[in-house]
């Protein structure tokens, strides 16, 4: 299955026009790409980068063109609710991308992952409610689905917190919370494609297991998806973009055909295959064209009634990286998987 070719709908510019957008973790791979996209589209009134890394903020200030003077930089940690409350003042949209993401690091430092990924996400929710932010979108991961590592477990908890946060909405605090969940981003910091680039010159590529499979998506498609989700979300939805999968071994042989492959063994907390939608979520999942949308299980609200206009997926539907139905064709894979 080819990854859907996404286009930003006309509603996105209208939605973001004149609004202030804040990105937590704004100096990370996602944050930098999202800020660049917002600057390019030139619809948001103000763009706030919230992160704890002052050096990366300095780099962004030096390298990002900002002719309209829209960028603002806040040094802060999502563990600090008071700082979030100050940063969220007069903010219309928050994209929450800040997290500890490295699986081995979070396995070794579990309490730190909990403080950032779970407690920090709750701080984002509380600060957004108190500040009256309009929409808050959590950037999640395929590792949140049926997790076997701590990183995935913390992202699952963050997803649950975000969906449940919609019960605290009222006429005065009409903040909507939703989730976007996707797989491997091609070329992101620490990604497998980045590893291939660094190992290619050695002539040997390390692979943890020959049968491992993953979903693949480009950062450009991620930006399209997030913008569409922000325009559509009403609160409680989990958006899952349509993505193609491919065995990691096939990616290695396609991109580095002359290199040897050294199998090192599965790392702690690593899966052979990833899942984006389980059989338990399928009864609540609808196909909206560019993505699947999972309706909340327990929220009694009409906010997600818009999803019912779209067809349900089959009851036995499982969106997994070892499902050949969704496997990338080689010609399309070569277009998106580039060294």
Burial label for 9, CB within 10 Å (0-12, 13-18, 19+), is: middle
Rounded distance between C-alpha atoms, residue 133 and residue 94, angstroms: 7
Which is nearest to 124 in space by CA: 170, 159, 73, 171? 159
- 221-244 exposure pattern, b = at least 16 Cβ within 10 A, e = fewer: bbbbbbbbbbbbbbbbbbbbbbbb
CA angle 292, 296, 297 (to 5 degrees): 120
Determine contact, residues 227/241, Cβ cutoff 8 Å.
no
The Cα–Cα gap between 259 and 333 comes to: 19
Of 135, 143, 155, 295, catalytic: 143
Q: What is the SS3 string spanning 260-313?
A: EEEECCCCCCCCCCCEEECCCCHHHEEECCCEEEECCCCCCCCCCHHHHHCCEC
Q: Which of 165, 200, 5 is nearest to 94 (CA)?
A: 165
Instruction: List CB contacts of 58: < 8 A, sequence separation 6 or more.
Output: none
Query: Do residues 171 and 163 touch, judged by C-beta distance below 8 A?
Result: no
8-state DSSP, 92 = -
In the residue annotation, 36 being an active-site residue is answered as no
Residues acting as catalytic residues = 143
């Amino acid at each position: 299955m080819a990854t859907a070719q996404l286009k930003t709908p006309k509603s996105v510019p209208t939605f973001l026009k004149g609004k202030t957008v804040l990105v937590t973790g704004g100096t990370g791979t996602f944050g930098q790409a999202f800020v660049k996209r917002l600057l390019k589209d030139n619809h948001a009134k103000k763009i706030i980068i919230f992160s704890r890394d002052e050096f990366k903020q300095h780099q962004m200030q030096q390298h990002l063109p900002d002719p309209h003077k829209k960028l603002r930089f806040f040094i802060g940690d999502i563990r600090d609710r008071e700082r979030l409350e100050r940063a969220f003042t007069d903010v219309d949209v928050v994209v929450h991308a800040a997290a500890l993401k490295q699986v081995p690091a979070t396995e070794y430092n579990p309490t730190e992952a909990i403080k950032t990924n779970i407690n920090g996400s709750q701080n984002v929710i509380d600060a957004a409610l108190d500040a009256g932010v309009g929409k808050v979108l959590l950037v999640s991961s395929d590792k949140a689905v049926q997790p076997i590592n701590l990183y995935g477990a913390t992202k699952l908890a963050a997803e649950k917190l975000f969906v449940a946060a919609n019960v605290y909405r009222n006429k005065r605090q009409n903040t909507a919370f939703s989730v976007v969940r996707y797989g491997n981003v091609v070329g992101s910091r620490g990604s497998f494609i980045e590893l291939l680039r660094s190992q290619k010159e050695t002539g040997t590529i390390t692979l943890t297991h020959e049968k491992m499979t993953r979903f693949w998506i480009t950062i450009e498609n991620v930006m399209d998806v997030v913008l569409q989700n922000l325009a559509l979300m009403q609160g409680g939805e989990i958006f899952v973009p349509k993505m193609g999968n491919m065995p990691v071994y096939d990616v290695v042989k396609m991109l580095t055909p002359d290199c040897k492959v050294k199998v090192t063994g599965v790392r702690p907390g690593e899966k052979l295959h990833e899942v984006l939608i389980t059989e338990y979520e399928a009864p609540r999942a609808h196909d909206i064209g560019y993505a699947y949308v999972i309706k909340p299980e327990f929220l009694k609200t009409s906010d997600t009634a818009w999803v019912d206009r779209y067809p349900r997926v089959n009851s036995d539907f499982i969106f997994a990286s070892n499902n050949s139905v969704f496997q990338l064709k080689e010609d399309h894979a070569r277009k998106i998987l580039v060294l």
